Amino acid sequence: MINIHIIGAGSIGLLFAHRLSKCGHSIQIITRSEKQSEELNRHGVVNQSAQKITAGPLEHTQFHQADAVLIAVKQYHLEAIMPAISDIPASIPLIFLQNGMSHLEHLSSLTHEHIFVSTVEHGAKKLNAYSVQHNGVGWWRLAAYRGEDEKLQSILACHHKDFPIEYESDYLKLLRVKLIKNLMINPLTAIFQVKNGVLADNPYFNKMMISLYEELSAVFPEEIGYCSFQDILDLCRRTAENESSMLSDIKAGRKTEVESLTGYAIKIAEEKNVMPVLLIFLEKSILAIQIERGSD
């Protein structure tokens, strides 16, 4: 058993707290507010956790007893908490769970010996301050940005059919392949207000996706080989009843992570003299919807 601190009590933070506690680890969830910490301490997570889960606000947290820290906040909240992350002792491994690529800009400034990035394919929906609904099983894949994978052994040992975990050797490939999948699915579902399965079953969405896939193939010619168009359709069908995180954010009036997805891809496209017409359209469409819905 190890002590794991999880910064962020959204759907993924709560899901991971629940699953890692069932594996026998001691979990502390780090929240933004005192109120959510109090509710988590009162109710636990989903009321089914095998080990005691505690919670506390970030400003009052001491990390010296942690064996690993998972950072599970949204991309756009990351910059605000970087000073607190920088103050975590450098010997403690950090594991980032963000969508997109923008968080890579922050990692080079950290002095920590062991930093890992990861991709999360689980479907999860936060029901209230202490409850999460697990909507779909997917892989949690990790790779080292810096450091040694042996620091992850206690976490990798939590692999389970309902919580599969895999370690990969190339962090950039890992993140870019997940980025391609996110770009193919999330913006379209959010713009057209449809669940994932509709993209695979509607022939007109299929045609739009083919055009987008061709554009992404020009932007990421190496990584696209690990993510065929059929893989994308299969993913849509496996998660047919799921709402993408971007669609959920739009419906809830929250800011989306679109710029952390499209921004990186557009930058790479421009470096390669590829005109990312569809990526720009998707980004501007989501940003326009956010303004109309008053997203913060």
Those residues with Cβ within 8 angstroms of residue 207's Cβ, 6 or more apart along the chain or in another chain: none
pLDDT digits (tens, 9 = 90+) for 21-80: 999 999 999 998 888 888 888 877 754 444 568 888 888 788 989 999 999 999 989 999
pTM score, whole prediction: 0.91
Select from 146, 139, 138, 6 the least CA-distant residue to 73: 6
Same domain, residue pair 46 and 158: yes
Number of domains forming the structure of the chain? 2
Q: Tally the C-alpha atoms within 13 A of residue 223's C-alpha that lie toward its C-beta.
A: 20
Buried b / exposed e along 124-159 (16+ C-beta atoms within 10 A): bbbeebbbbebbeebbbbbbbbbeeeebbebbeebe
Specify whether the CB–CB gap between 13 and 72 falls below 8 A: yes
**Residues of the domain holding 205:** 174-293
Same domain, residue pair 105 and 236: no
Residue 78 corresponds to which tokens in the numbers above?
A: 């990351």
Specify whether the CB–CB gap between 199 and 192 falls below 8 A: no
| Domain final position from 147, 169, 191 | 169
- Backbone φ and ψ of 139, nearest 5°: -85, 145
| Domain final position from 169, 185, 204 | 169
Q: Tally the C-alpha atoms within 13 A of residue 274's C-alpha that lie toward its C-beta.
A: 20
pLDDT digits (tens, 9 = 90+) for 236-286: 998 888 889 999 999 999 999 999 999 999 999 999 999 999 999 999 999
Same domain, residue pair 98 and 132: yes
Q: What is the CATH number of the domain that holds 20?
A: 3.40.50.720
